[in-house]
Amino acid sequence: MNETKSVLVERIKIIVIEMIQHAEEWPKHKISVYLSKQLNHNYTYLANQFKEVTGTTIQHYILLQKIEKVKELILYNEINLNEISYNLHYSSVAHLSTQFKNLTGLTPTYFKKIHSYKKRLMLERI
């Protein structure tokens, strides 16, 4: 039974990661409806199994994955925060920034500045 739960949780994680990595194909419905349809289970059941196995909620896992994607996009430095916010379906840059700071302890701008500084230091050592 535990193996079945673990497999289901891994499937949820894969769907979430794919959804975030390909944000331009974000589901038209609520994420709960999307996951239920993809996995042929009631969302409450999925959420309970996920929480039992991982100790966190699906929504929190989605948030963590989105913030990791934000970090990646910030470091690529190809698009600005407005575009990142839009691409990852945040309601605003302020909302993205608040969630980013709540999870990382840094603002997106400060995160970018720190990593730019570290990159310069590494290059100077070469």
pLDDT tens per residue across span 18-74? 999 887 767 777 889 999 999 999 999 999 999 999 999 999 999 999 999 999 999
Domain ranges of the chain: 2-125
pLDDT for 36: 95
Q: Tell which residue, 107, 67, 103, 104, has the closest CA to residue 88.
A: 67
At the top level of CATH, the class of 2-125 is: mainly alpha
Strand, helix or coil for residue 104: helix
Residue 125 has pLDDT above 70, yes or no: no
pTM of the model: 0.85
pLDDT for 29: 74
Phi-psi region of 56 (alpha: psi -120 to 50; beta: other; left: phi over 0): beta
Q: What is 78-103 written as a DSSP string? A: SS-HHHHHHHTT-S-HHHHHHHHHHH
pLDDT for 1: 57
pLDDT tens per residue across span 77-97? 889 999 999 999 899 999 999
Paired tokens of 42: 């009631």
B/e letters for 50-89, b = 16+ CB within 10 Å, e = fewer, are beebeeeebeebbeebbbebbbebbeeeeeebeebbeebe
The pLDDT confidence band at residue 99, using thresholds 50, 70 and 90, is very high
